[in-house]
Structure 1
């Protein structure tokens, strides 16, 4: 067996590139057709009372429609992780390609400092979360909301004494 740098075995190169072309042909189309959602948050200011809130947007960036079953956020109370669902009137929702769905709810403001992450769940049971850039942006938006919103006072109703 002899190895020379100047001589190229074109049949071996041709076989290698044919194999690579077959791999691309088999796996490229399913890669293009995969389901993908893009989640982002935004700062929403109520013009009436200048109260800041966080808006939540989910956009279908795949080639086909996707059923969204639920939206929500996770927050921590002591050692527990609690789920709060958003947009109950809007779910389940069929998102067409490039179609966004947005909402802002004031229930977010009650647990603003404890928010861990936002999510969207599709009909296949897959959870979609914010990417790293949007997580950082969410932390900045939470800080803005906490600075600019008046402190909320939780009203605790006194227990009524039972009649004797």
Structure 2
């Protein structure tokens, strides 16, 4: 009829979750993720370009108004003729969720690129949740053409990625 004392184990759990750190761009892991991408994920960013995409997403997500996340928000931005780079995840199922976006981007003249993993895209943006689509808008914080000290802060990443995405998908919009 007395109380029993519970023995508490006060040792700290030192296991580390490897997934939670940063997006995966190792060669073998990247190839595995590319194999899991869906059928419409084209043009898929190669490993070097994906690393640059993740780096730009990380820089852009630090600026509150520079990135639009999600299907509804990106579609609204494209309808309002916002310019930028659309980044889509390649392993989204069902495909019908975002199958209209590449055609919409080509119609508006906005470059787009696929990355193999939505989880890596979410980690690059600083979220624990996965992200299937985002629109990176031009901003002075990471765009070289608007900065006078671009040689100091490596800010030509947006312009470089914009050109690379334009080369992957030629604009079909005729002015």
TM-score, length basis structure 2 = 0.25
TM-score, length basis structure 1 = 0.26
Larger radius of gyration: 1
Higher RCO (C-alpha under 8 Å, 6+ residues apart): 2
